[in-house]
Amino acid sequence: MLFDRTPENLDRLLAALRELKARYRDPAGRHIEPDLDKLQTLRLHLLLTDLGALDVLGVIGGGLTYQDLVHRTVVYELGELRVRVLELAAVIETKEQANRDKDRAVLPVLRQTLAMMNRGERGEGG
């Protein structure tokens, strides 16, 4: 999850993480909870919550922030919840910028999916 680093949003994010009982994934097994200082200064937060693993990122790709990418999102309504999701073309661009082995490995599938979407095709099961 890429988060908006404005002070107002950091307060909301921290409240949500506390509700989920978030803590950092720590190889030594220590219980370290996120706080405002960590959210403001660290770029990557690998967390465990009561609902499972959650990666909380301040930047992605080549240093892109929430503000850089918010105009490239699509809003989905899930019940009463509104969720912003990065459009697939932007996901591809951020993975190209990151240029890690794991990102390069998924790029062919993502590009094929985008091409199918642009042609109006549906994949298996859809």
Q: How far apart are CA 14 and CA 10, in angstroms?
A: 6
Q: Are 51 and 43 in contact (CB under 8 A)?
A: no
Q: What is the pLDDT of residue 93?
A: 96
Instruction: Give the long-range contacts of residues 83-89, CB within 8 A, separation 24 or more.
Output: 86/2, 88/113, 88/114, 88/117, 89/114
Q: What is the pLDDT of residue 43?
A: 87
Q: What is the pLDDT of residue 52?
A: 97
Q: What is the pLDDT of residue 42?
A: 81
In whole angstroms, what separates CA 28 from the centre of its chain? 25
Q: What's the pTM?
A: 0.83
Q: What is the pLDDT of residue 124?
A: 62
Ranges of the chain whose pLDDT falls below 70: 123-126
Question: 16 vs 10, 11, 89, 91, 109, CA distance in Å?
Answer: 10, 9, 29, 25, 33
